[in-house]
Structure 1
Amino acid sequence: MKKLYVFALACLSSSFLWGQQALWKGEDITSPQINPDKTVTFRLVAPKASKVEIEGDFLPSRHIQTPAGTQEAPGRKEMEEKENGLWELTTDSLPGELYSYTFYINGQRTPDPNNVYQNRDIATISNIFIVGGGKGDLYQVQDVPHGNISKVWYSSPTLGMDQRRMTVYTPAGYTEGHKKYPVLYLLHGAGGDEDSWGDLGRACQILDNLIAQGKIKPMIVVMPNGNGGQQAAPGQAADGMPKPQFMNPKMMEGSVEKAFPDIMKYIEKHYRTINDKSHRAICGLSMGGFHSLYISARYPDKFGYVGLFSAAINRQSKGENNDVYDNLEEKLAVQFKHAPRLYWIGIGSGDFLYKDNAEFRKLLDRKGYKYTYMETDGGHIWRNWRIYLTEFTQLLFK
């Protein structure tokens, strides 16, 4: 019996050590390593590779051809092979920012196996890291009071759905008090969903940190799903786990704009909101900027603050729901008769939508409509949209 006990103990110890070996495998590889001088070192073990590259938005950008035209893309750079199949690259000193990257081994895209921090942008997975200082501090979780995030299911009769999901941020102190708050409706771009602004845009960290610094008013922020044919983000709905797509049903053909009051009705019934134009804002990126343009024009008495971030102006589906998209100039005339307190436009100088936004600003200029404009470097990228959210929210509800 004693021999059997010893044998069992040995087997258990062997299993434990085997499991620990899996845990410890590659423990001595740190990637990325953020150095004191804010350079960053990447490492990858690939002994059979003949070429290893890193692609990241901290490298000089390149231009690629897409169905939407020429667009900016992250730069690529070859890594250097060291001993024992270890590949390495150290960057120049980087400004404080959130960065994303991936490896290419002999041309095959692969994530960094030593970095568990990743984001999904449509169907593409990238590793991320944050360099502290400047904007980087704003995007990190800091030791400040934190708001709460809820994944909320609501009914949208206009879309014919009993259940749709959205993300709602409530500021620190909301659950303990009785105070009413202004509301910002924050909309995502094509291929995104109700998780995008939280995961890719770092919206919750931005809001927590700016509120703690006294730079923005505490507010409720509603992040709905802007794909009118979806219940929720991929993998979170009753349709199983489909591959995320850039193009989804009922994106920019009027359904979302018509159904938007369903969202507002739910929020104003279930949250302590101040329900007037002066305490309601809407903004969004790309498709979400498009939706913000037409929703605010369709309901001109609802939003005192409007933000268009790299807005996909004039990209609607043709021939459908013309009552939503037709006669925009007439709708703008009504909207600006009692002008919003803030009409804000931001775009990157390298954005493929730059020309469309420039033409729209010419229209506003001809009509004498006042707006605030911000132009940044770079293209159609999250780095810009995080900046726009930071700037826009500091101007709200003053």
Structure 2
Amino acid sequence: MKKNLWIAVLITFLIGTKSHAQEALFGAQQITSPEIHDDSSVTFRFFAPTAESVQVTGDFLPTVKVETPRGMMDAPGKADLVKDDKGVWSFTSSSLSPELYNYSFLVDGLRSIDPNNPFLIRDVASITNIFIVGDGQAALYRTNDVPHGTVSKRWYDSPGLGMDRRITIYTPPGYEKSNEKYPVLYLLHGAGGDEEAWISLGRTAQIMDNLIAEGKAKPMIVVMPNGNVIQDGAPGEGSEGFYKPQFMVPKTMDGTYEANFMDIIKFVEANYQVKADKANRAIAGLSMGGFHTLHISRHYQNTFDYMGLFSAAIMPREDATGKVYSNFDETLKTQMDNGYELYWIAIGNTDFLYAANKEFRDKLDAMGMPYEYVESEGGHIWRNWRVYLTQFVPQLFN
């Protein structure tokens, strides 16, 4: 009797599974989008037979200038799709340079993801599709057939902030079986980001795997914290549950994060096989994370030998009242006098923070403080920050 019952349960399960699979199959559109051609042009398609207009927007298109609360900034352009007699709209780009690109559609003005492309990223509260074209620089963003590191989502105790907090940590290939101690890069996100940003938008794991496999980077641990001190984890991953991410949350740039950054270092050095000295610590960040990098490294003046400021948000702020911001010139000079291996600054030539970074470099020049400077094309975009990471990492711990 029991045998017959189990057979009946199994049959019911299989029928249900098959029905669900068929439902997913029939619900899917049999359209290829994006389609990457041999000449590196890309065709986008969207089925919308009743729509009046469909456009595609993304960072593969020429940028346009738009007015924002932060001033004039570069924004992705738009291109019109053309509808065929089956209700499928399409657009084919020009040949694209090797890169990871993002895009979305505008259907009668309403933003939509591509239902035929399941590969998505979240940037603050915006969801866009992604695709990769070509080799070269783009090959660093692919998951290639090389030894892979491990990405862990850990929780650490932050006594200074009074909570357990979520953190993303990359360990290099072979770490689990090794007794070796490794250097550490602390990699900080920008405003609106969290502990998911660098691993998702920045392709950090793929970049590290590929650089290490090519012998261009030393095996290292990469620590990606959450710089929003009022959160214990990214939206949807912490105790606050599901809520819409914000570009700026309270207390992100008031000194609280910098003042409690040693909680992160203490956790890493107590729980991982690391070389716990200045020569084996690096810190870098983009935009707000560059601001944090500047002040953390200056406040803890003998802690890091390598600093990377990627499009750093160096600007006056009314809420920057924390103790870590005091005695700026004196502590910066002390950092210089203590010595370091690399102070690296990079920014795009149309970035809205370009002038502020130029002013900061003028200060360093007047002080005689050594640094390396990289100026790229483009503005305040992830395309630049991924490239900066691939340029910065090979210079570490040599």
Alignment of 1:348-387 (within 5 A): 348-387=348-387
Report the residue type matching 1:147 in the other structure. G
C-alpha distance in structure 2 between counterparts of 1:344 and 1:247, whole Å: 26
1:302 deviates by 0.4
- Match of 2:150? 148
Report the 3-state secondary structure (helix = DSSP H, G, I; strand = E; otherwise coil) of the residue aligned with 2:165: strand
Residue among 38, 41, 44 paired with 1:42? 44
Task: For residue 397 of structure 1, report the CA deviation from its aligned partner.
Answer: 0.3
2:153 equivalent to 1:128: no
Rounded to whole Å, the distance in 1 between the matches of 2:312 and 2:46 is 38
- 2:6 aligns to what? none
CA distance in 2, matches of 1:210, 1:136: 12
Structure 1 outlier segments of 4+, above 6 Å: 12-15
Amino acid across the alignment from 2:387 = I
TM-score normalised by L of structure 1: 0.94
Aligned amino acid, residue 279 of structure 1: N
On the 8 A contact 1:252/1:317 being kept in 2, the answer is: no
Question: Given that residues 167 and 226 in structure 2 are in contact (C-alpha distance below 8 angstroms), is that contact kept between their aligned partners in structure 1?
Answer: yes
**Which structure 2 residue ranges, 5 or more long, are not aligned?**
1-10
Matches within 5 A, 1:238-249: 238-249=239-250
In 1, are the aligned partners of 2:123 and 2:201 still within 8 Å (CA)? yes
SS in 2 for 1:127: strand
Q: Which residue of 1 aligns with 2:327?
A: 327
Alignment of 1:215-294 (within 5 A): 215-294=216-295
- What is aligned with 1:6? none
Aligned to 1:192: 193
1:315 to partner: Cα distance = 4.2
Match of 1:93 among 71, 92, 95: 95
Residues 170 and 221 in structure 1, CA contact (< 8 A), matched pair in contact too: yes
> Distance between the aligned counterparts of 2:263 and 2:160, measured in 1?
7
Q: Which whole-Å CA distance do the structure 2 matches of 1:268 and 1:317 have between them?
A: 34
Question: What SS does structure 2 have at the residue aligned with 1:347?
Answer: strand
Give the counterpart letter for 1:52 in structure 2. Answer: V
RMSD (Å) for aligned C-alpha atoms: 1.6
Quote the residue 1:5 is aligned against: none
CA deviation after TM superposition for structure 1 residue 135, in Å? 1.3
Question: What is the number of equivalent residue pairs in this alignment?
Answer: 386
Deviations along 1:38-87, one digit per CA (max 9) or x if unpaired, are 11111111101111100011111011111011100011011111121110
2:208 is aligned to: 207
Amino acid at match of 2:149: G
Deviation of 1:328 (Å): 1.1
Aligned twin of 2:5: none
Answer whether contact 2:253 2:320 (CA < 8 A) is retained.
Answer: no
Q: Is the 1:122–1:192 Cα contact (8 Å) retained in structure 2?
A: yes
- Per the alignment, do residues 355 and 35 of structure 1 end up closer, same or farther by CA in structure 2, a change over 3 Å counting? same
1:174-214 per-residue CA deviation (whole Å, 9 max, x = no partner) reads: 00010000000000000000010000000110000000000
Cα distance change, pair 21–168 in 1 and its aligned pair in 2 (3 A): closer
Q: Structure 1 residues 13, 282: CA separation in 2 closer, same or farther (over 3 Å shift)? A: closer
TM-score (norm 2): 0.94
